[in-house]
Amino acid sequence: MRATITNTKGLLLMARDSTGRDRALRVPDLLRKLDLSGNHLLTFSLVIAPGVLRTHWLVKLPKTNSPESVWMDVSQEVFVNSVTVWEGQSSLGPDEQHDA
């Protein structure tokens, strides 16, 4: 199983980079909502222009298990320097993974 994640510092770097793009986030608004010690999960990315990705994130909020959905357009350079690709074993068996 593979997942692309970032911490709050990485998410804020990408939010700053999104300024002026079609899907931009306001950093002050984001800071008020985020779990500052949380990790955030990338669920979608697509190249929309040379060097630019449209991304969708599930971001960790404090005191809840329900993430918030966030879209932002970021440069590939900032994206690559802000994320970690996590690889690990699934808790499902090989046959169960295909049914999920």
pLDDT digits (tens, 9 = 90+) for 16-36: 999 999 999 989 988 888 999
**What pLDDT is recorded for position 92?**
67
Whether the predicted pLDDT of 96 surpasses 80: no
Q: Are the CB atoms for 83 and 10 separated by under 8 Å? A: yes
Q: pLDDT tens across 44-76, in order?
A: 999 999 999 999 999 999 999 999 999 999 999
Band (pLDDT 50/70/90 cuts) for residue 95 is low
pTM for this prediction: 0.84
25 bridge partner residues: none
* DSSP tag of 15: H
